Amino acid sequence: MKYLLERYHISLSKSVVYIKITVIILFFFFSAHSNAQKISSQVFNGWGGSVLLNGKTFDGSVGEASIVTLKAGGYTITQGFLQPIDLKLPCGEIQLKAFPNPVIGEMRIYAEGCDVEVTSVLAYDLFGKLVYEDKPRENMVNLSEIGVGVYMVRAFDASNKLLGVVKVIKTTI
């Protein structure tokens, strides 16, 4: 190494700088390469359908990979990878949202975290007395008829399942 340094008239301090620069360049090259796009196997389903036979439904598609698993009597059964048209993920925790809060008249109420719709609303005062009941239209609830105070608003979905409870402050200003 000393021979190379003397031959190219590089001092030891310059060589250390060059090594550091080389290491930095290699680091950026490999880190950029590791974040590059990845190619994954994906198949486009061009056509598909379902057949009802002897009370059982069989789904089929064209354009997806399949594997022949059984041949008998002129019939072939294959297995493949059928992607559903409507993928429903499990619901997360439902959070009930209401605004504006404090409210003077109309208030928007909706549930976040799942694909559910608020179909009925009950409002209770702090003594537990039911003071308001309605079915929201376009997520809007009109609380102008109830008095000023603090209310616990319970929201339900179409199957009458409780979606959540939110504290609402009714004011005049």
| Residue scoring higher pLDDT (93 or 144) | 144
Under the phi-then-psi rule, with left for phi > 0, alpha for psi from -120 to 50, and beta for the rest, what region is 4? alpha
| Residue scoring higher pLDDT (4 or 136) | 136
DSSP 145: T
pTM of the entire predicted model: 0.48
Tokens of 95: 């959070």
The answer to whether the CB of 110 falls within 8 A of the CB of 164 is no
Q: How far apart are alpha carbons 84 and 96 in whole angstroms?
A: 30
169 pLDDT higher than 80: yes
Q: How far apart are alpha carbons 163 and 156 in whole angstroms?
A: 5
Whether residue 39 lies inside any domain: the answer is no
Q: How far apart are alpha carbons 20 and 17 in whole angstroms?
A: 5
Task: Give how many domains the chain has, as a whole number.
Answer: 3
Q: How far apart are alpha carbons 106 and 72 in whole angstroms?
A: 68
Range of the domain at 56: 47-80
Whether residue 85 lies inside any domain: the answer is no
Q: Which residue has the tokens 């594997």?
A: 67
The residues pairing with 50 across neighbouring beta strands, listed in sequence order, are 59
Looking at the structure, do residues 144 and 121 belong to the same domain, yes or no? yes
Count, residues in the chain? 173
The pLDDT tens digits for 104-143 are: 999 999 888 777 889 999 999 999 999 999 999 988 999 9
Whether residue 40 lies inside any domain: the answer is no
CATH of the domain at 148: 2.60.40.10
